[in-house]
A and B are shown apart, each in its own frame.
Chain A
Amino acid sequence: MDALDKPATPTRTLIRRHSLTVRLSHWLNVLCMTVLLFSGLQIFNAHPSLYWGQYGADDDPSFIAMEAVEEGDTVKGITRIGSLSFDTTGVLGVSAVDGEQTARGFPAWATLPSYQDLATGRRWHFFFAWLFVINGLTYMAYGFVARHFRRDLLPTKDELTPSHLGHEIADHARLRFPKGEQARHYNALQKLTYLLVIFLLLPLMTATGLTMSPGFNAFAPWLLDVFGGRQSARTLHFLTAFSLVAFVVVHVAMVLASGVFNNMRSMITGRYAIHMQPEGEPKP
């Protein structure tokens, strides 16, 4: 144990973390999801109300709505969720367009294009929806065939014990991330989150989107039963989109907190640095 006598300098090893397929599909997905979100909000703005059931229009009770309400000389943006109303003037319901308060669901900075143009929003949305689906299917095929899901994302039995998960949650909350040998692999929270996104949220996004298509309804009317109708599917499409936004916020925060340079390098070049204490290097 000579090493103990000297100050132990950790050895830095570059491991191969992300395959080329994972890196390419990741960044393509970043592009697709960005365009889909902003063009999606453009489409939403054409009718900024959400309903539950097979039908839903102006005279039917809405579940979420962004409205412009006139009060004397001013216009207020009101966002309603169920029976709760919030004044969201400036962001939702009413926001400035060329310095003038205008009725719009989401503000100009959140839509593609910035001005109201449903036709263009749809062109962008469906083009990138195709790219998103092709990219997703390619990634899925790769994940199974190259055993990426089984090797990298399937949690082990030990990782799923309540005590282990409790530890990980406590560590994450204190922004204490795995080091050394443990950093070779995703931790259990990462695995579970990625599995949730890949196998639930993203497929849900696609399926609820297709359920809004009258053409696709003729092919797969059972999707209407699964989601409870076209308007329910539209509501779920919106809610799932914001679940994904929440995921991205946490994901990016974790990337920043756990070493932005190392993380970015690994998703660009594939190489990820881990630091091993010399005595903690059990394997060759």
Chain B
Amino acid sequence: MSRLITRRRFLIGSTLTASALGLSGCDVLVENPNVQQALRMAEGLTMRTQRLLIGDKTLAREFTAADISPTFRANGTSMPDGAEYQALLTQKFSQWNLEIGGLVERPTKLSLAAIKAMPSRTQITRHDCVEGWSAIGQWTGVPLAAVLDKVGLKPEARYIVFHCADEYEKSLDGSGWYYESIDLVDAYHPQTILAHSMNGHDLEVPHGAPLRLRIERQLGYKQAKYLMRIEAVADLSSLYGGNGGFWEDRGYEWYAGI
């Protein structure tokens, strides 16, 4: 229960298992690529239906201070171990900058102080892990829309990609770095913020210091932590596994509204 099992780690284990035991009939069906492709149709249907029902600006429920979880479980990476991050941490992120580039008019670097000086939004929302648990916390941060307006999106930009400081799965080809992506509907949603504070304090390392994404109408794995770079792109296929996120490259839905 402590961690999600990555598809790769799991594939190594299960391939050995499967060949040793002979898979059950159901498992053979599960691993058939045509079946997998067919099942993926449900994701598009869910996304289109939810978008139609919710509307672009409808807010996720906000709670009161009394509803905040006594302990907010930290998931995924709890301490990025790269030398670069460790150095930034030692200097209390005074040398950290958020890099904003890609399909933008004015590529920019923003220091933590500059981000904290921008008009902020505070919201008490529920964080839902794909595993099934939930925690409620208070987040303060800059609306992503304000940051995007500052740099100016080029017309061909369709997605906003978040590159993180944690390599969640060690690999030789660098495919294990955490990243996430959202489309412009969610990027401009009023509750989509780059959070620098949680429950009234600076973000702690297990929760993604110094800056994490909050996108409140989707599941926990979309809430990328340890943000280093934001990139506007026209499509997602050229990034890592091509599915738009660390977990998406490992079989999870890109649209995580359910």
Contact = CB atoms under 8 A, between A and B. Distances in A.
Contact of A120 (B4, B13, B30, B60): B30
A40 to B, nearest CB: 11
Interface in A110-163: 112-120, 122-124, 126-127, 129-130
Interface string A213-228: 1111111010010000
A224 to B, nearest CB: 6
B60 A58 contact: no
Given A126-B42, A218-B54, A46 B130 contact: yes
B67 A114 contact: no
Interface residues of B, number: 60
B181 to A, nearest CB: 17
B223 to A, nearest CB: 11
Contact of A230 (B21, B126, B216): B126
A116 B251 CA distance: 13
A215 B251 CA distance: 20
Contacts of A219: 50, 53-54, 58
A26 to B, nearest CB: 22
Given A113-B26, A216-B50, A55 B218 contact: no
Contact of A127 (B39, B129, B216): B39
Nearest to A215: B257
B54 A98 contact: no
Nearest to A113: B30
B27 interface: yes
A118 B130 contact: yes
B42 A44 contact: no
A251 interface: no
A106 B225 CA distance: 32
B73 A123 contact: no
Contact of B5 (A113, A116, A127, A216): A116
A213 B258 contact: yes
B132 A130 contact: no
A43 B258 contact: no
A30 to B, nearest CB: 16
A124 B35 CA distance: 10
Interface in B220-258: 247, 250-253, 257-258
A107 interface: no
Contact of B61 (A43, A98, A221): A221
B131 A46 contact: yes
A227 B49 CA distance: 23
12 contacts: A57-B134, A57-B135, A58-B73, A113-B30, A114-B23, A115-B27, A122-B130, A122-B252, A123-B253, A124-B39, A127-B38, A216-B258
Given A126-B46, A219-B50, 17 more contacts: A46-B131, A46-B132, A54-B67, A55-B134, A57-B72, A57-B73, A113-B31, A114-B26, A119-B250, A120-B36, A123-B40, A124-B39, A127-B41, A213-B258, A215-B217, A216-B54, A218-B61
Interface of B: 1, 4-5, 7, 10, 13-14, 17, 20-21, 23-24, 26-27, 30-31, 36, 38-43, 45-46, 50, 53-54, 58-61, 63, 67, 69-73, 126, 128-136, 216-219, 247, 250-253, 257-258
Interface of A: 38, 43-44, 46-49, 51, 54-60, 97-98, 112-120, 122-124, 126-127, 129-130, 212-219, 221, 224, 230-231, 234
